[in-house]
């Protein structure tokens, strides 16, 4: 089999309401779907992390830089393809957009392989360690309203009512304001719900350590991206100063980037973003590196149903750490803010919210070969911007 063509589809629409995190507000929803076409009629799909204008830069890399290199190659030769592309791009960017672009292509190659051998991705990866996966609800993003506390309290309560046993909220508007928000959410969800906070790297370690002590008092399970991803020492200082879990990794790339984060024991929980760090081929190496240092992995998941499906397979195939009769299960991150590309992109929806509500916060593994999804191309046409 040979790769005949690589296409990139950027989908966008305007959100009814702006959503914010500590770095910006955004009003546009983007999905960047990569399609790899073979000479035997099999099409594979992947997703490249990077919304807004970044998707257009990634599209150019996919179509003008990566496609000419890999067209004519065998799509099963995923390692060879990965290294050929990475070695050519190394001089022009070892992190960021070149890796995001390569990630989408690599995921599509795995989808092709699964379809060709009629096996779901989790089987190609070595088989399922579990037949269901717990889901945590990510929501509570900033809105331009006067009373964010009430909004967050109501939203978190609604997530719990939908069946989520774990939820994640944004922080990062200032230590005092953050604590007020977290206090309101903790009160709203009660003591039993697992609560995580995400600062999107807006603090220095000196600011984040005292904030973390207060978050511990509120029984926050993890403090995500407290400091800038470049600040390895800051991450390490936080791990040493606090009892709570320090989480991060979504802004890191390749085994070499993760090596330093992992060997430096900079996080208690690693959050690799497969659609950004280099795809599934590279994720496997990062996972092995993390587990070889006994650092638990909870994948970062963001984007369309393609990213969610990919991660369901990865979580299914993740070995227990360290193993036992009652191992801690890796959670699926599920964004609950409005996103048509997550809910309506597929012919048959993944039905995550319905399952969470029916099964008390758990979802089943996807069926079907490859990623086990079928993209609705009428939908793609409707939202395609290029
Ligand atoms: Ca995050």
Query: Using one digit for the tens of pLDDT, what is the confidence trace for 112-135?
Result: 999 999 999 999 999 999 999 999
Contact in structure between 9 and 303 (CB atoms under 8 Å): no
Q: Could you read off the pLDDT of 76-91 as tens digits, one per residue?
A: 999 999 999 999 999 9
Q: Classify residue 302 by its DSSP letter.
A: -
Indicate the burial class of 105 (C-beta count within 10 angstroms; 0-12, 13-18, 19 or more). Answer: buried
Q: Could you read off the pLDDT of 142-185 as tens digits, one per residue?
A: 999 999 999 999 999 999 999 999 999 999 999 999 999 999 99
List of residues 6+ apart from 361 with CB closer than 8 A? 134, 135, 163, 164, 165, 166
Q: How many whole angstroms from 22 Cα to the centroid of ligand 1? A: 10
Residue 312's pLDDT is what? 98
Q: How many whole angstroms from 301 Cα to the centroid of ligand 1? A: 9
Taking the CB of residue 239, how many other CB atoms lie within 10 A of it?
17
Token pair recorded at residue 145? 């309203």
Phi, psi of 361 (to 5 degrees): 100, 5
Half-sphere exposure of 88 (CA within 13 A, CB side): 14
Residue 241's pLDDT is what? 98
Q: How many whole angstroms from 37 Cα to the centroid of ligand 1? A: 32
Q: Could you read off the pLDDT of 50-84 as tens digits, one per residue?
A: 999 999 999 999 999 999 999 999 999 999 999 99
Taking the CB of residue 60, how many other CB atoms lie within 10 A of it?
13
User: Residue 165's Cα: distance from chain center in Å?
Assistant: 19
What is the pTM (predicted TM-score) of this model?
Answer: 0.98
Residue 10's pLDDT is what? 98
Q: How many whole angstroms from 184 Cα to the centroid of ligand 1? A: 20
> Is the predicted pLDDT of residue 386 greater than 80, yes or no?
no
Contact in structure between 39 and 1 (CB atoms under 8 Å): yes
- Model confidence at 101, pLDDT cuts 50, 70, 90, reads very high
Q: Classify residue 369 by its DSSP letter.
A: S
User: Hunting for tokens 């969470």 — which residue is that?
Assistant: 356
CA distance 313 to 367: 10
Q: Could you read off the pLDDT of 319-361 as tens digits, one per residue?
A: 999 999 999 899 999 999 999 999 999 999 999 999 999 999 9
Token pair recorded at residue 71? 């067209």
Catalytic residues, by residue number, are 300
> Is the predicted pLDDT of residue 231 greater than 80, yes or no?
yes
Closest CA to 269 of 303, 241, 294: 294
Q: Classify residue 90 by its DSSP letter.
A: G
Q: How many whole angstroms from 247 Cα to the centroid of ligand 1? A: 9
Contact in structure between 82 and 280 (CB atoms under 8 Å): no
Q: How many whole angstroms from 225 Cα to the centroid of ligand 1? A: 7
Helix axes 254-263, 232-241, angle to 10 degrees: 40
Q: What is the mean pLDDT of residues 244-269?
A: 98
Q: Could you read off the pLDDT of 37-51 as tens digits, one per residue?
A: 999 999 999 999 999
Q: How many whole angstroms from 90 Cα to the centroid of ligand 1? A: 26
């Amino acid at each position: 089999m040979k790769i005949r063509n690589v296409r990139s589809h950027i989908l966008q629409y305007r959100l009814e309401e702006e959503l914010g995190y500590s770095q910006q507000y955004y009003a546009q929803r983007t999905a960047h779907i990569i399609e790899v076409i073979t000479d035997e009629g099999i099409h594979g799909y992947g997703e490249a992390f990077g919304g807004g204008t970044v998707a257009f830069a990634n599209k150019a890399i996919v179509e003008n830089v990566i496609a000419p290199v890999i067209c004519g190659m065998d799509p099963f030769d995923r390692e060879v393809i990965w290294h050929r592309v990475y070695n050519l791009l190394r001089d022009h960017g070892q992190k960021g957009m070149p890796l995001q672009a390569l990630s989408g292509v690599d995921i599509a190659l795995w989808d092709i392989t699964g379809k060709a051998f009629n096996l779901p991705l989790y089987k190609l990866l070595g088989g399922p360690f579990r037949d269901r996966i717990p889901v945590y609800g990510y929501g509570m993003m900033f809105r331009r309203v006067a009373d964010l506390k009430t909004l967050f309290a109501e939203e978190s309560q609604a997530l719990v009512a939908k069946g989520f046993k774990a939820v994640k909220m944004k922080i990062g508007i200032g230590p005092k304001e953050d604590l007020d928000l977290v206090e309101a959410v903790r009160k709203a969800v009660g003591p039993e719900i697992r609560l995580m906070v995400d600062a999107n790297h807006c603090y220095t370690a000196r600011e984040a350590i005292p904030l973390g002590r207060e978050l511990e008092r509120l029984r926050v399970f993890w403090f995500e991206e407290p400091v800038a991803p470049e600040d390895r020492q800051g991450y390490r200082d936080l791990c040493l100063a606090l009892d709570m879990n320090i989480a991060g990794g979504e802004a890191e790339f390749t085994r070499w980037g993760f090596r330093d984060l992992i060997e430096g024991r900079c996080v208690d929980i690693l959050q690799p973003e497969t659609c950004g760090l280099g795809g599934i081929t590279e994720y496997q190496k990062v996972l092995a590196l993390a587990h070889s240092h006994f650092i638990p992995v909870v994948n970062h998941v963001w984007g369309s149903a393609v990213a969610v499906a990919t991660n369901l397979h990865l979580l299914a195939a993740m070995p227990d750490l360290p193993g036992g009769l009652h191992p801690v299960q890796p959670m699926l991150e599920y964004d609950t803010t409005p996103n048509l590309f997550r809910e309506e992109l597929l012919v048959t929806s993944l039905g995550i919210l319905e399952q969470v509500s029916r099964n008390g916060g758990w979802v089943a593994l996807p069926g079907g070969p490859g990623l086990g999804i079928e993209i609705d191309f009428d939908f793609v046409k409707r939202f395609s911007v290029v």
